[in-house]
Chain A
Amino acid sequence: EDQVTQSPEALRLQEGESSSLNCSYTVSGLRGLFWYRQDPGKGPEFLFTLYSAGEEKEKERLKATLTKKESFLHITAPKPEDSATYLCAVTGANSKLTFGKGITLSVRP
């Protein structure tokens, strides 16, 4: 069974303090790894898709990287509006999307 573990569960940063969120996974036949951002009471907002080890993608202050066992979401100089829950998910050979429990990020001004 596919599994996704995200750490830490919660992260508090000062505005401008860069950090990384971790997503470890086990999956049979990785077809894609996905990062989403979710604000309270709303649906997840798509951020990135990574397909193979070594791949990297960037968007504004966010950069996602992928290895054979884990993915990192790097946040550079975060702002308070980056506060949200960040979800990692994988799709394997069964074409089912399996989510981690998410990392709640709080950025203080």
Chain B
Amino acid sequence: EAGVTQSPTHLIKTRGQQATLRCSPISGHTSVYWYQQALGLGLQFLLWYDEGEERNRGNFPPRFSGRQFPNYSSELNVNALELEDSALYLCASSFTGRADTQYFGPGTRLTVL
């Protein structure tokens, strides 16, 4: 069974640009989560989508946004990129948004120059 997939693997942008990251969950999973992992800071929760709706949001500015499509895949958009947005962005999926185990994808490495 295929795991969580993410694209692209690497993304290089310049300050002020916009970045779009994509995630496909494990088949049968309806919840998708986004996390940011910057050097030395650990995984920080960004967004949770379930059944097409945003269910929860971490402590990040509004320029971090996303959506979930009818096939449960998801997109994370980061507008007005700043240097400190450089990080590994991880997507996870689960059956529901409660205490179900989250399974992670390989991540997208975003570098902002």
Select which of A34, A95, A102 is within 8 A of B97 by beta carbon.
Answer: A95
Tell me whether B64 is interfacial, beta carbon within 8 Å: no
Asked if A98 meets B45 with Cβ closer than 8 Å, knowing A31-B99, A51-B99, the reply is yes
Tell me whether B43 is interfacial, beta carbon within 8 Å: yes
Give the residues from 40 to 54 in chain A that come closer than 8 angstroms, CB to CB, to chain B. Answer: 41-46, 49, 51
Give the residues in chain A near B107, CB-CB below 8 Å: 41-43
Say which size band chain B's interface belongs to: 20 to 34
Give the residues in chain A near B99, CB-CB below 8 Å: 31-32, 51, 91, 95
- Contact pattern, A 73-101, Cβ under 8 Å of B = 1, otherwise 0: 00000000000000101010011111111
- Contact pattern, B 87-113, Cβ under 8 Å of A = 1, otherwise 0: 010101000011101111111010000
Q: Is the interface of B mostly helix, strand, loop or mixed?
A: strand
Give the residues in chain B near A34, CB-CB below 8 Å: 101-102
Tell me whether B77 is interfacial, beta carbon within 8 Å: no
Give the residues in chain B near A49, CB-CB below 8 Å: 101
Say which size band chain A's interface belongs to: 20 to 34
Give the residues in chain A near B43, CB-CB below 8 Å: 44, 87, 89, 99
Q: In the bound complex, do residue B42 and residue A96 qualify as a contact, i.e. CB atoms below 8 Å apart?
A: no
Q: In the bound complex, do residue A44 and residue B104 qualify as a contact, i.e. CB atoms below 8 Å apart?
A: yes
Across the A-B interface, the 6 shortest Cβ-Cβ residue pairs? A31-B99, A43-B104, A32-B99, A101-B42, A99-B43, A44-B104
